[in-house]
């Protein structure tokens, strides 16, 4: 009996050992292939996705003081160059169209690999965007093994890229802001109707926000929730829902749709799509408010006269030329 048990045990030990060896080799292969497929520069021609948001990868290490994450509401409403021009504060908008919180979390952690922002802003529209369970899982896998994110790169992968080291060189003159000077107004100005009701936030979304808040705290950054003006995407119910979430996270919530922080948006001239997103005119107003808030509430340096930031002044000149047609 003892011999039979020993044989069976030995068999299972061998099976386990072979399985562990197989998994180890498989994981090592995945890491290796992921490196091969990883974009070696942050330009579209190298296979990089979301190039504008990933422009932060080309910024000098530890040079960004304020990080903004979120969806198109963020990149339409917040212009880092406007803030730089008036306050000399460095900021970057890592926002993408339809961004889910799973992606926001990825951009947050990616930024902290090279930067040490003192303030992180999450634009709140993404908090009400559904995250399918499989999407959250897939994002984690893609973050661990980039081959699953860039698997289509085999079509354009050049032989000289295979063993090239990663070097991100491109920077965005607009620092993640997406300029749009179109004007398409709305007369829906009474969209914030007072109520005690709160729009419910999905449990998974709450978990992501709480996790990001905790991550920022652990890394010495202040986490803010900010609702930019939108007559289409925002209302009092959502305000109340986010306010409750902010309280549970112990973070500050700023709603630019409501007093005392309401930005004076002219909805006949400051939106490009009937109140859904702000245009350049609206972004100037939001950025002016935000720049003053950051200057007043945080110990953020004015880098405009710092020679290490001379490229920001050069970028500002190009930015001003790009937005001149929309200047009012």
Q: pLDDT tens-digit profile of 61-91?
A: 999 999 999 999 999 999 999 999 999 999 9
Q: Is the pLDDT of residue 268 over 90?
A: yes
94 and 176 Cβ atoms separated by less than 8 Å: yes
The packing angle between helices 80-87 and 310-323, to 10°, is 120
Q: Is the pLDDT of residue 22 over 80?
A: no
Average pLDDT of the residues in 111-131 = 98
Residue 169's pLDDT band, with cuts at 50, 70 and 90, is confident
Q: Is the pLDDT of residue 3 over 70?
A: no
Question: Mean pLDDT lowest for which of 41-45, 113-117, 151-155, 236-240?
Answer: 151-155
Q: Which residues have C-beta within 8 Å of that of residue 213, sequence separation ≥ 6? A: 223, 249, 250, 251
**pLDDT at site 57:** 96
Q: Which residues have C-beta within 8 Å of that of residue 82, sequence separation ≥ 6? A: 283, 284, 287, 288, 291
**pLDDT at site 106:** 95
**pLDDT at site 132:** 83
Instruction: Give me 115's structure tokens.
Output: 């930067």
CA 82 to each of CA 121, 167, 290, 305: distance values in angstroms, whole numbers, following the listed order: 16, 28, 10, 16
Could you report the per-residue pLDDT of 7-17, keeping only the tens digit for each? 666 676 676 66
Residue 176's pLDDT band, with cuts at 50, 70 and 90, is very high
Q: Looking at per-residue confidence, does 289 or 150 come out higher?
A: 289
Instruction: Give me 1's structure tokens.
Output: 């009996």
- Mean residue pLDDT across the chain: 88
The packing angle between helices 133-144 and 101-112, to 10°, is 20
Domains of the chain as residue ranges with CATH: 38-326 (3.40.50.1110)
**pLDDT at site 49:** 78
Can you tell me the distance from the alpha carbon of 105 to that of 136, in angstroms, rounded to the nearest whole number?
10
List the one residue out of 94, 103, 107 whose CA is nearest residue 136: 103
**Distance of alpha carbon 224 from the chain centroid:** 13
**pLDDT at site 14:** 72
Q: Which residues have C-beta within 8 Å of that of residue 102, sequence separation ≥ 6? A: 131, 135, 136, 139, 208
């Amino acid at each position: 009996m003892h011999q039979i048990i020993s044989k069976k045990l030995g068999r299972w030990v061998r099976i386990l050992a072979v399985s562990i060896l197989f998994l180890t080799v498989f994981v090592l292969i995945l890491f290796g292939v992921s490196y091969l497929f990883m974009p070696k520069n942050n330009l579209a021609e190298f296979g990089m996705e979301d190039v504008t948001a990933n422009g932060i990868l080309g910024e000098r290490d530890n040079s960004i003081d304020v990080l903004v994450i979120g969806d198109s509401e963020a990149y339409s409403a917040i212009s880092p160059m406007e803030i730089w021009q008036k306050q000399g504060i460095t900021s970057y908008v890592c926002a993408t169209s339809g961004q889910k919180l799973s992606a926001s979390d990825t951009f947050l952690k990616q930024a902290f690999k090279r930067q040490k922002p003192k303030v992180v802003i999450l634009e709140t529209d993404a908090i009400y965007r559904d995250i399918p369970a499989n999407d959250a899982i897939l994002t984690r896998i893609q973050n661990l093994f980039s081959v699953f994110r860039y698997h289509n790169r085999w079509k354009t992968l050049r032989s000289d890229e295979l063993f090239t080291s990663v070097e991100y060189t491109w920077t965005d003159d607009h620092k993640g802001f997406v300029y749009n000077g179109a004007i398409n107004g709305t007369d829906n100005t009474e969209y914030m109707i007072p109520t005690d009701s709160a729009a419910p936030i999905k449990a998974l979304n709450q978990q992501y926000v709480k996790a990001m808040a905790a991550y920022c705290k652990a890394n010495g950054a202040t986490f803010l929730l900010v609702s930019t003006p939108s007559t289409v995407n925002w209302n009092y119910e959502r305000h109340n829902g986010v306010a409750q979430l902010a309280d549970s996270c112990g973070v500050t919530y700023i709603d630019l749709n409501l007093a005392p922080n309401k930005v004076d948006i002219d909805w006949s001239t400051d939106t490009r799509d009937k109140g859904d997103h702000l245009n350049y005119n609206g972004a100037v107003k939001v950025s002016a408010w935000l720049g003053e808030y950051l200057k007043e509430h945080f110990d953020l340096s004015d880098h405009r006269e710092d020679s290490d930031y001379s490229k920001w002044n050069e970028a500002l000149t190009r930015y001003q030329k790009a937005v001149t047609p929309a200047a009012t």
